Amino acid sequence: MKPINVAISSLTHAHVRKYYTTLMENPKLNWVAVSCPDEAIANHFNSLGYGIPLYSTLEEMLERHPEIDAVVLASENSRHMEEVKTCCQYKKHILSMKIPTFDMDEYDQMIKLVDEAGVICQVELELHYNPAVKRVMELVEEGVIGKIISFNATNITLSPVWAFPWQGVPELSYGSRVPLKPGDSRFRGGALSDHPHIFDLVRWIAGSDYNYVFSDAGDNIRTDLIEEDLLYVTGEMENGMKFLLDPSWSRVEERIKIPAPGWEVFPKRMEVNFTIVGTDGVIQADAFGPNVYFCGGPNNRYTIQYTYFDEWVGMMDELHLCVTEGKKPKIDLRWHKKTVEAMLNCYESIALGQPVFFK
């Protein structure tokens, strides 16, 4: 088994820190370099002792390390387009963070660039590799609960804005400053933009695409945040399956620059739970199975350990397989585009106050 050489572009995405251990421990991967334009973030990374060469730009990193096979794009959503262009120019495969772009013209350009360069662009949606989700999909495909009638899912977390400030800036998270709805001082780019996972999972579970969505945003629990943090989504798939989704930042956090013990405030940091109702039964699942140990003390601090977090290994194993054998990733740009379109329609529904049907 020949390992592939992987690099990280930027270090500003909340998920990127989960890759550090995976890249160090997975024998299928050689972590060869990092690029980071932010001096403070770069200094923090160097202090962690990984000993990985660090460069200020993606271009410099690719010039200095022609052996790189694939690049993890871990920058602000607004920078993904330029980074895809650069990776395609250098013929490097791509693992893009969960929202490549909300601009559908940019999205089409990305697809064209990737196709013309002959590279892979896998999108980081780790639930497809989660052991609990994989078991649920096996049961669904075996017909254990019959025909699926409805799907209810939560993807609720604390807000990453204080540790990753770009996620609180609409121009960086959503790509532009678009009012959430008439008479509302907030803008698109908050919790909905951070949680594509369950929107993608609906399509996978149903084996169908969206028919319509209806969404509304509640009053923020963080009054100084200029993006949405509480919302819900309901709707129907083309095959008739109904769904209800909660992608909110409804868990409270301490506002510190670097996530660490003490960032979480009781009761929990993150939950992905779902219920699938079929004609012959019901399946309920807790995708991450968090064990919470309440410590008390100031601000109700606690510690947490997730039962299922090896989906990162499965996702990177797939990247290795795609690069070495030319296979197509489960989640590529074409598949994920319909998920992003659904999220855009949710924003339209919030603005209009009515359901939005898909063309």
- Give the tens place of pLDDT for each residue, 99-136: 999 999 999 999 999 999 999 999 998 888 888 899 99
Domains of the chain (ranges, CATH numbers): 4-125 (3.40.50.720), 128-311+339-357 (3.30.360.10)
> What value does the mean pLDDT of the chain take?
92
Mean pLDDT of 169-174: 98
How far apart, in Å, are the Cα atoms of 43 and each of 36, 40, 54, 59, 279?
Answer: 10, 5, 10, 20, 55
Lowest mean pLDDT among 8-12, 67-71, 110-114, 210-214: 8-12
What's the confidence (pLDDT) of residue 323? Answer: 96
Q: Where are the alpha helices (DSSP H) in the chain?
A: 17-25, 39-47, 58-64, 80-89, 104-117, 131-141, 170-173, 191-194, 197-206, 311-325, 333-352
What's the confidence (pLDDT) of residue 304? Answer: 62
Q: 0.85 cut: is pTM over it?
A: yes
